[in-house]
Structure 1
């Protein structure tokens, strides 16, 4: 009885141990082998094959593939061998695009970006935007024609195609609806029609994804802010200063952020509107982010009144705030008693303020070389 039990257990263990191996063998046998022509061509182009296998190995198993043809198209556009290798290494799916379709795509993109060198740079940075399905080409063509009819700068159109290709792959009617909603809102809020094209270009340049939102959301957000007491002029300022993020917001999220901000600052509705007018970011930061940033500033000894005077300091992350406070402290600048403007701003602006403090510290109080004034 005992030998029988041992034998049975041994057989069962063998089956359990062998199962994963058998499954792996089955998967290997069922999957197609790598396309050796693709692998060899990519290798000859100095593409990192191991990286491709690790991240997008499925591409190497596809057939037909056009690695050599795509590389020739890129080289004919002026791409160097290293750029071709970089493009196909980052986005190997490009080799699955039919050469004729990519030739059509290149001609399409050159209607808005005629400089080959610039176009190669865009493809290198946004390969997924260029190597799109041929089914999208007609929508792309119609959208390009539409945006050109708006007299938009070609650089803006190119940026939209590169950063937000979804805007060009979808039906042109959807973009027309959102652009019309933006134009309508701009004029209703008192915008000057003569400057509307410049305003629209700036908005889309700052946030290329603004067009992907439904027009109804834009109207809801404007209605919500109007109900909170913002004037038409203030709303126009907010829409412009939010860099298109007004289309990313929603009334529910804004309501929570404003309620938290007003609660922690203990300000009136009018004061809150003034603060938001100077720092529109308060509209889209969630409560958790605001709580962390308020806490970091207060922990550093900064008063709530200082924050209310310079609310844009809330746009800085906690890590940046702490770093800048320490940097300023080395030159004897105490943010607890000084203006937060020294702490505020972009990295470039802060570095300029920091350099001024450094010069002020290193400069002697008097010039030892200058002659002393004597009595007349």
Structure 2
């Protein structure tokens, strides 16, 4: 019996420890569900089964501000169905005091003044909006810093939504990473007049670049320089990798390059050209590349074709097989044709596929042309 009691207490302690830090001081955990919260969520048509399954602990908290959250979202233009979806996905929102929610609303509207757009952001990233009041000063300071860089408000809003950690931390940390990116851009020959646009694009495409140690960027650029990429090529890579150069490391890139060169039997110059045309190759580990090479070769595609169009290696085996099958219906043989039609995004492929289909179905004569008859 004593052992069971001790085990029960330990489990309860573990559960309490797992709660988000910013919710513990202002909420009390009860063994029974807070019926006011349950009834309020029910009245809002929130999926209580989903809440109980994934965030059940929220229903045991007191106090809760369900009505206040719903009223604020409704005042911002959110429909009942949107409010229900937000609270089903992020029920922790009901634990945020009204003054904290209003402070967040004011803060976010400084970069996203259109309430309809802000509601859309909250629907997609509720955890970014309903955050701890202890982060407000850091958020405010980071907003001011990115505004001082003359970044577009939409870019700042996207950063706040998709990478909230970068706005919750001290502004000095972001300043260091941004300076590192700017220095790398300038040292690689980037034009001062284009730097703001370049930085905006990079941050927009990979907001998490701010959370990486600056040393990682320097190490990766140094490694690539040692591999023979010149200054202009490094700038091109830094831009085309869309900030994902910070997700890499010299060891992983070394293995990927060695495996790729050994498998394709190409020269270092050919390999560099392939990387410049398809920088994503640097991001794939050996096992993924091995699977994709095998899939392409088993479909009758030659290694020379892959070298000529390396972007085809960005596709999963399932996508490759599906596209090959669709193309074959229209008589396109990937073994003899260009792989350009096979690679690219879904939109790119559908456009190419549509052209092939049109070419096959186009009539040999114009059926609506007037017939030439006797006068």
- TM-score (norm. length: structure 2): 0.90
CA drift at 1:330:
0.6
CA drift at 1:247:
0.9
CA drift at 1:72:
1.3
Cross-structure match for 1:221: 220
Cross-structure match for 2:159: 160
Cross-structure match for 1:77: 76
Distance 1:369 1:102 in 2: 65
CA drift at 1:367:
5.3
RMSD: 2.2
Cross-structure match for 2:186: 187
Cross-structure match for 1:177: 176
Distance 1:167 1:23 in 2: 38
Cross-structure match for 2:92: 93
Distance 2:213 2:369 in 1: 70
CA drift at 1:368:
7.5
Structure-to-structure mapping, 1:138-149, within 5 angstroms: 138-149=137-148
CA drift at 1:223:
0.2
Distance 1:369 1:89 in 2: 57
Distance 1:355 1:130 in 2: 42
Query: Deviation per CA, 1:160-184, whole angstroms, max 9, x where unpaired?
Result: 0000001100111110000000000
Distance 1:295 1:225 in 2: 27
Cross-structure match for 1:348: 347
Distance 1:64 1:370 in 2: 77
In the alignment, does 2:268 pair up with 1:281? Answer: no
Cross-structure match for 2:331: 332
SS in 1 for 2:62: coil
Distance 1:34 1:319 in 2: 46
SS in 2 for 1:230: coil
Distance 1:166 1:198 in 2: 23
Asked if the contact 2:309–2:339 (Cα under 8 Å) also holds between the matched residues in 1, the reply is yes
Structure-to-structure mapping, 1:116-265, within 5 angstroms: 116-265=115-264
Distance 1:39 1:367 in 2: 68
Q: What are the ranges of 5 or more consecutive residues in structure 2 without an aligned counterpart?
A: 13-28
CA drift at 1:254:
0.5
Query: Deviation per CA, 1:121-176, whole angstroms, max 9, x where unpaired?
Result: 10011000000011111110000000000000000000000000011001111100
Distance 1:142 1:369 in 2: 67
SS in 2 for 1:65: coil
Q: 1:23 to 1:146 in 2, by over 3 A?
A: closer
Asked if the contact 2:30–2:62 (Cα under 8 Å) also holds between the matched residues in 1, the reply is no
CA drift at 1:365:
3.7
- TM-score (norm. length: structure 1): 0.90
Q: What are the ranges of 5 or more consecutive residues in structure 1 without an aligned counterpart?
A: 1-14
How many pairs does the alignment contain?
352
Distance 1:368 1:40 in 2: 67
CA drift at 1:295:
0.6
Of 364-373 and 211-220, more deviation after overlay is shown by: 364-373
CA drift at 1:73:
1.4
CA drift at 1:320:
0.6
Query: Deviation per CA, 1:38-66, whole angstroms, max 9, x where unpaired?
Result: 11111111111122112111100001111
Q: 1:369 to 1:35 in 2, by over 3 A?
A: closer
Cross-structure match for 2:47: 48
